[in-house]
Amino acid sequence: MRKDRESDTAEPRTMDQDPVVQGILKAISQKRLKPGTKLGEDALAQVFETTRIHIRQVLAHLVSRHIVTHFPNRGAFIYRPTVQEARDIFAARRVLETATVNAVMDNLTAEARSMLKRHIGRESGHDRNDRWASLALTADFHILIAELAGNGVLLDFAKELMLRTSLAIATFEVPGSPDCSPDAHPVIVDLMLAGDRAGALSAMNRHLDEIEHRLHLGATAPDPDDIVAIFQDIGVGPISRGAA
């Protein structure tokens, strides 16, 4: 009954588990791969010791996930969100994370409580000077809440939004600023564990507002759909043609 169109691409769910996909996503979430970075097929095939066909499948999948953009004849690049998309990402996160916090609080089992506490323990015990590791750890907090919400679809959305947030932050952040304010997560967890639903929801929303407000999304930012700026950013210039 399914339409027979999966012949040339793997199932999206399977591709999410692909080790090359995972490797690229990890590098993005740790801000090592920046927006606008070219993803050369040969280089990636070499890094992961796989075929170019495999790399092409991976890149096509990441294009479908809004993580990579592909320009004909130029290749694949880490996606660079526009100002409007950055705002939309945070608006979507406020909706989604309101839902996940609510769902967790609807069913706050002993196991969920201990996992939340354990995560906060890991964050506070972590060496904050290790920027890369702490970035991944603070993103994990939001993913953990989505996992505890017990809805696989919400979890998929949460994972995608966290990655797109990483791209937005990497594109628009003021240099040197942290992703998640270090003290926000324990406050949110304390309110959740105390059963203060309204307090937890407003703390989460405040936290997302703070992250968004640290970005340079001001009036001087380029037009949301300014593809000229996008092409300049990735070093794509005029096509040199013969007399045509």
Maximum pairwise Cα distance, the chain: 73
- Determine, following the binding rule CB under 5 A, whether residue 116 of this chain makes contact with Zn ion: no
* Rounded distance between C-alpha atoms, residue 154 and residue 150, angstroms: 8
3-class state of residue 70 by DSSP: strand
* Rounded distance between C-alpha atoms, residue 158 and residue 93, angstroms: 8
Choose one: 122-130, 173-181, 192-200, 217-225; the region binding Zn ion (CB under 5 A): 173-181
Nearest distance from residue 28's CB to Zn ion, in Å? Answer: 17
* Rounded distance between C-alpha atoms, residue 187 and residue 66, angstroms: 32
- Cα of 94 vs its chain's centroid, Å: 14
> Which lies closer to Zn ion via its Cβ, residue 33 or residue 101?
101
Nearest distance from residue 139's CB to Zn ion, in Å? Answer: 7
* Rounded distance between C-alpha atoms, residue 134 and residue 113, angstroms: 22
Size of the site for Zn ion (CB under 5 A): 1
Choose one: 28-36, 52-60, 127-135, 176-184; the region binding Zn ion (CB under 5 A): 176-184
Choose one: 89-97, 167-175, 177-185, 214-222; the region binding Zn ion (CB under 5 A): 177-185
Choose one: 98-106, 113-121, 175-183, 231-239; the region binding Zn ion (CB under 5 A): 175-183
Q: Which of residues 23-62 bind Zn ion (CB under 5 A)?
A: none
Nearest distance from residue 63's CB to Zn ion, in Å? Answer: 27
- Cα of 101 vs its chain's centroid, Å: 19
Phi–psi pair at 160, nearest 5 degrees: -65, -45
> Which lies closer to Zn ion via its Cβ, residue 180 or residue 192?
180
161, 180, 191, 203: residue in contact with Zn ion (rule CB under 5 A):
180
> How far apart, in Å, are the Cα atoms of 136 and each of 10, 99, 118, 180?
28, 22, 16, 10
Cα dihedral 220/221/226/232 (nearest 10): 100
In the bound complex, which residue of the shown chain has the CB atom lying closest to Zn ion? 180
> Which lies closer to Zn ion via its Cβ, residue 39 or residue 180?
180
Nearest distance from residue 148's CB to Zn ion, in Å? Answer: 15
> Which lies closer to Zn ion via its Cβ, residue 180 or residue 200?
180
> Among 119, 219, 229, which residue's Cα sits nearest to residue 171?
229
Interacting residue ranges for Zn ion, rule: CB under 5 A: 180
